[in-house]
Amino acid sequence: MAPESFRALRVAGAAVTLLVVLSIAMSLVGTPSTAGSGPLALPNPAPSSAVRYGEAPLRVLLVGDSMAGSLGVGLGELSTGYNVRLANAGSPGCSLSMDGEIRLTYFNDPPGAPCKLNRPGRLLEVWRAWVDAFRPDVVVYVARSDLLTQQVHGRWTNVGHRAFNDWFSSRLRAGIAVLSSLGARVVLMTVPVSSEPTLHTRAQDNPIRVARDGGLLRRSVADDAAVASIYDLSQLLTPDFRYRSSANGLVLRCVDGVHLTPEAGIVVATDLFPRLWALADGHRVQGGGGWALGPFPPSTPTWYAKLSCP
């Protein structure tokens, strides 16, 4: 067995120990708590029997920004073991809320590809092409970039402001419609709290923004409950909205305090993949398996090597 396989098995075993009663998905989380984070409380694990090894692999499309891309690294290590074909299409600096420039620590920047400055429809066009070619059974969306201060219709705003909330809610509706257009189930992941090692705390690391973003995701799911679900990644990795870089001996976050290590993705995979199989039960999308607008995306993006991730 290859060293990479041994590593995945070792971490998967640790993940099972860490998540003794593994489940997160679909529970509500309120406003940030002042209590300690405590142990994970995940009472409703998806049974591993949900995985159908006698069927064609479950096609899973992962979209969002670089947080999605980093999550896909660990997911990719266990995808074959769960009979999943994963397309990791997470793209740095590009998320559903993007319209104009985004505010970073010392400068402003345009959104990254496939988003296009002042052309929010471009991302939906790309998603439609991916969906048409790959024909996923399930699509997963997660994007920390939705927490950034950014321009919408030329004005600076962020999650929590009415103008942003209305805009982002409309974008979520449009995104869910595109991603589910051929029959896929759509899973919106809440964003874990980050803690960037900077002199001054960055606005996007504020747990209040994380909570407000999660509230918008939940309302969108409630409006499209027939096709959309919530997976509470925030509660799994940062319970009670408290940042943590590791748990039970597993390093979960890269040195930047934002992106996810392969170990974190493996932890998530042990719970997520059976859930996705259960969601797609009886709703498999026929055909597809190809890709559009470039080569099929690898589970480890080329840019991931630039991060310092144990």
Percent of the chain predicted with pLDDT > 70: 85
* Overall average pLDDT of the 260-269 stretch: 95
Q: What is the pLDDT of residue 27?
A: 30
Q: What is the pLDDT of residue 33?
A: 28
* Overall average pLDDT of the 285-298 stretch: 96
> What is the CA 88 to chain-centroid distance, rounded?
10
Confidence (pTM): 0.88
Round to whole Å and give the CA distance between 45 and 262: 21
Q: What is the pLDDT of residue 7?
A: 52
H/E stretch holding 8: helix 3-18
Given a cut of 80, whether residue 43 has pLDDT beyond it is no
Q: What is the pLDDT of residue 48?
A: 87
Given a cut of 60, whether residue 1 has pLDDT beyond it is no
Round to whole Å and give the CA distance between 243 and 254: 13
List of domains in the chain: 3-24+55-306 (3.40.50.1110)
- Tens of pLDDT, residues 75-92: 999 999 999 999 999 999
Round to whole Å and give the CA distance between 50 and 284: 14
3-state secondary structure 226-252: CCEEEECHHHHHCHHHCCCCEECCEEC
Kindly state the DSSP code that residue 181 receives in the 8-state scheme.
T
Round to whole Å and give the CA distance between 136 and 175: 15
- Tens of pLDDT, residues 138-175: 999 999 999 999 999 999 999 999 999 999 999 999 99
